[in-house]
Amino acid sequence: MVLRGRQFDAGSPAVMAIVNRTRDSFFSGNRHGDLEAAKAAFADAVECGADIVDVGGVRAGQEGEAVDAGEEIRRVVPLLQWARAAHPEVILSLDTWRSEVAREASGVVDLVNDTWAGHDRELVHVAAEVGAGYVVSHTGGLPPRTDPVDVSYGEGPLDVVRDVLATLSRGALVAEQAGIPPERVLIDPTLDFGKTTEHSLEVLRHTADVVALNYPVLQAMSRKDFIGETLDLPAEERLEGSLAATSVAAWLGATVFRSHDVRATRRVLDMVATIRGDRAPKLALRGTARPPETDRPANAI
């Protein structure tokens, strides 16, 4: 993946921090209705190691307040404009399904995160017009802010995987045809969206098949319901489960990880990349030489 002149791959995966300009996000730790609070959260994410910051103004699920396009613009655009000036090195992502919101963010966004799978067919074209990358997602055909009910992709456990692969392939082709270079087209299996917990777990196990489509893969798993249901835990207690899922997806080749917990995710990704052999350790001193005399314990022989 190449965005804003920076390249990310298996040896240097990207952490995408989440800053929600909402009062009703499912995770209470990421509710920033106040602009100044959102700025502080943004700066903290960068300090913790975020490469990308994803800014959204509407809760994904059907619960919560109604937000029209005008209100969404008022929530996200001022934060993005401030961020571009205050943190010019950071890749800015806009989490929206509305083309009018993306158009208002022209000149400041590097990536449009369309989490509702092209519901607004103009959005991918607006992303191309403003020179941004684009996230292709899979929602099982559901419209925005719709929670899955009685979802089925067929009789076999792999049917959901086949649907994800086919949908992402088509969406990526549409993005390229709109004029977005393939290195700026991210594909996201979009776990939880249009999926049961069993579906999400099956798709996660097949991350390598998504990687084999030859586009950068985004995994957005942080504190999601499939983790909560797997462990029977509320959103506030899903960190360890999120990091376990992150480790698996990283080992299988995903490149970008959307997370509420930037520092922990950064460390997990660096460790996985090093274990796999794609990244050198920061230090490799143990057992290589006798420590200097001043560093030896007082009781050493």
Active site residues: 224, 258
3 closest CA partner among 34, 144, 12: 12
| ∠ Cα 188 56 92 (to 5°) | 75
Tokens for 66, please give them: 């109604």
E strands of the chain, at which residues?
A: 2-3, 6-7, 14-20, 52-56, 91-95, 111-113, 133-137, 185-188, 218-220, 256-259
Q: How many angstroms separate the CA atoms of 48 and 220, rounded?
A: 18
Is residue 170 left, alpha or beta, with left meaning phi > 0 and alpha meaning psi from -120 to 50? alpha
Q: Which 8-state DSSP code applies to residue 290?
A: P
Pairing of β 6-7 and β 2-3: antiparallel
Would you call 71 exposed, middle or buried from its count of C-beta atoms within 10 A (0-12, 13-18, 19+)? middle
Q: How crowded is residue 89: how many other Cβ atoms within 10 Å of its Cβ?
A: 9
Residue 151 and residue 203 in contact, taking contact as beta carbons nearer than 8 Å: no
